[in-house]
Amino acid sequence: MDLAGSSAIVTGGASGLGEATARRLAGEGLRVVIIDVNDEPGKQVADELGAVYVHADITSEAEVIDAVEAACALAPLRALVSCAGGGGIGGRTIGRDGAYASAHSLDSYKNYVMLNLVGTFNVVRLAATAMSRNEPDADGGRGAIVMTASVAAFEGQIGQAGYGSAKAGIVGLTLPVARDLSPAGIRINTIAPGMFDTPPMRAWGTEVRDALAASIPYPKRLGNPHEFADLALHLVRNSYVNGETIRLDGAVRMQPK
């Protein structure tokens, strides 16, 4: 896909995988709009890149529409990389004492699904709507979307019912949405990253991170966010990759805990 003279949206672009992707896309000449709720780092990254920062909750229709309109005002929106989300260990499905009150919090579960799955779909549907108004390129393409799942979609660990099922939902979205968007010439793919050297991972400390790195078959290290960004850019550009989920994990397979 020819991205010259285009804009791109990166959700979660204030840090981690999203920041690396925003930097990669800006380096390719795209006009980037960063969506995040962490204003200070988001504005700092945007200033460094000559990008636009928009404070937006990805589960809000109105706020995401404003961000999409901001991108369209810069140039035709032809790329979306959805990195916003969050998770980890949310608790086991049942407690040890057999009491209803000890079961997994329903509000906590809903929060995982809202942020990771519903929020992702909200951004996808609105960005794709704007893309559908673009003039098609020589291949009939009007835009490309990359969603972010996780290896937890396939091997969710103990305590990851909420996060794992929400990320599995993103994998489940990929093919039907690709089929929905195909008549408009819009592709969508998903990256399922493994263990990456991002701020949440750094919070675990060196000893834990080294142990996790040792569990990865090859290369025995945490992923670098620029490797995610490289794949995201490839998926945006390669017009024949559509409806696919790609693991980016050094061949790791997560154990139960």
Residue 170 has a pLDDT of 98
Catalytically active residues are 163
Residue 160 has a pLDDT of 93
pLDDT in tens, 6-38: 999 999 999 999 999 999 999 999 999 999 999
Mean confidence (pLDDT) of the chain: 95
Confidence of residue 200 (pLDDT cuts 50, 70, 90): confident
Q: Which element (helix H / strand E) includes 162?
A: helix 161-181
Helix and strand numbers (H, E) in the chain are: 10, 7
Q: What pTM was estimated for this model as a whole?
A: 0.95
Q: Is the pLDDT of residue 88 over 80?
A: no
Using left for φ > 0, alpha for ψ between -120 and 50, and beta otherwise, residue 24 falls in alpha
Confidence of residue 245 (pLDDT cuts 50, 70, 90): very high
Residue 204 has a pLDDT of 77
pLDDT in tens, 108-129: 999 999 999 999 999 999 999 9
Residue 43 CA to residue 207 CA, distance in Å, equals 32
Is residue 91 within 8 A of residue 105, CB to CB? The reply is: yes
DSSP character for 190? E
Domains by residue range for the chain, with CATH: 7-195+226-248 (3.40.50.720)
Of residues 174 and 206, more confidently modeled? 174
Q: Is the pLDDT of residue 2 over 90?
A: no
Q: Is the pLDDT of residue 235 over 80?
A: yes
Residue 201 has a pLDDT of 81
| Helix 16-27, helix 225-237: angle, nearest 10 | 50
What is the rounded average pLDDT of the residues 207-213? 88
The secondary structure of 74-88, three-state, reads: HCCEEEEEECCCCCC
Confidence of residue 144 (pLDDT cuts 50, 70, 90): very high
Cα→Cα distances 13→22, 25, 26, 51, 141, Å = 6, 11, 12, 11, 25
